[in-house]
Structure formats: C-alpha cells, structure tokens
Amino acid sequence: MRGLSATGGTRRGRLTLGWILLLLAWAALAGAFSVTSVVTRPEGNLYLMDARLAYRFSEAALEALDNGVPLTVDVHLQVRQKSAWMWEESLVDRHLRYSIRYQPLSERYQVVELPDGAKKSFVSRDAAIVALGELDGVPLLGRDRIKPGQSYEIELRAALDIEALPLPLRPMAYLKPSWKLSSGWTEWALQH
C-alpha cells in the first residue's frame, strides 16, 4: 500500500484552493451589491437615515436594462434593539423599492421611487446607478420609541427583485447566478 506523498497532498490542496478562489472571483465579476455606509441622525421627533449602496449589476442585467427592461431593487431595513433575540419583533421592518429604467426615446435613464413614482432622470447609466444607491433622509422611527441607555442597530440588505422582472425573463433569472444580486445583511449602529 502506497502512502500519500507530501507534495501530492499539498498539490491537491493548492488546486482545491485555486478552484475556490476562481469561483469567488467569477462570482464577484458577475455583479454584486454592497452597503458602504449608513448614518442616522435625529431631526425633530424622528430618526432619519442616510445610506450609500454600491450596485454592480451583472452584464446580463445591464444588457436587459439597456434593452428597456426596468430593474427593481428592494432595500429591506430593520431596526432592532442590539440585545434582542432573533425571534423578537423589530421596531422597524420596511422595504424601500426603487426602479432603474432606460427611456430609449429620450435616451435617458430614470430612477423611480416606488410606489409613489418620484422620478429623477440621468444622461448616463453610470450616473443613474450611483443615484440609485444614494438614500437620503429616510424616516426610520420616532424618537419616543428609543429607550435611554439601550443600543440599537439597523440591519440593511439590498437585492434585485426578480419577481418585478417581466414574466418571460423570470425563469432564466431564477436559474442563472448572474441575476441573483444581493448585498447580504449588514449591521450598523443607530446613532442617538
């Protein structure tokens, strides 16, 4: 019976690590969302939130956008007491929805706040994507809901809403990793 050589085992380990790194790099190139900053501030009787999100859409999503398919992003936010158990109810549990779309007649991109329909137009796709990630003055909760001496955190996640895509595009979007774009959950302290 032959034993494993030290170089054979090491070589296999390096190959496995190489494949893992290659897959991670491929996933990063496919597109990714990230939450880069969250700041809260009291204003009047409310706490407001300013957040910056970086949206890196996959090539498939950008191609669809450039061909007139609107892309909807769902920003899920929760405010919880820092020491709360996971089954305890959140103080705030909201979904903010935004759509980015291309208007071929005007050759402009629009960012639309859903459901109220407030729109901003942009000459370039890149400018529209940057604006999509700028959330300013989002009302979180009343100041009276915060207990003195307690710590609170904001949990935030942004994801492409596949259900908002046109029906013929949804099956492919569910099956292909290039459409599963999300920031994952991030936690930020509520400054008060």
- The answer to whether the Cα torsion of 33, 182, 178, 14 is positive or negative is positive
Between CA 111 and CA 129 the distance in angstroms is: 8
Alpha-carbon span 47 to 3, nearest angstrom: 65
Query: Which residues are registered as beta bridge partners of 32?
Result: 56
pTM of the model: 0.81
pLDDT value of residue 86 = 75
Residues 178 and 102 in one domain: yes
Give the model's pLDDT for residue 186: 95
63 in the same domain as 14: no
Domain count, the chain: 2
Residues 14, 84, single domain; the answer is no
Same domain, 50 and 4: no
Same-domain status, 9 and 45: no
Q: Quick one: 57 and 5 in the same domain?
A: no
Residues 21 and 86 in one domain: no
Rounded Cα distance, 130 and 62, in Å: 14
Q: What per-residue confidence (pLDDT) applies to 1?
A: 47
DSSP 56: E
Q: Are residues 108 and 132 in the same domain?
A: yes
Please indicate, yes or no, whether residues 122 and 62 belong to a single structural domain of this protein: yes
- Using alpha carbons, select from 116, 153, 135, 145 the residue that is nearest to residue 46: 145
- The secondary structure element, H or E, covering residue 80 is strand 71-81
144 is in which domain, residue-wise?
31-189
| Same domain? 52 vs 66 | yes
Q: Same structural domain for residues 107 and 117? A: yes
Give pLDDT < 70 ranges for the chain.
Answer: 1-31
pLDDT of res. 128: 98
Q: Give residue 22's pLDDT.
A: 46
Q: Are residues 17 and 38 in the same domain?
A: no
Euclidean distance between CA atoms 41 and 117, whole angstroms: 26
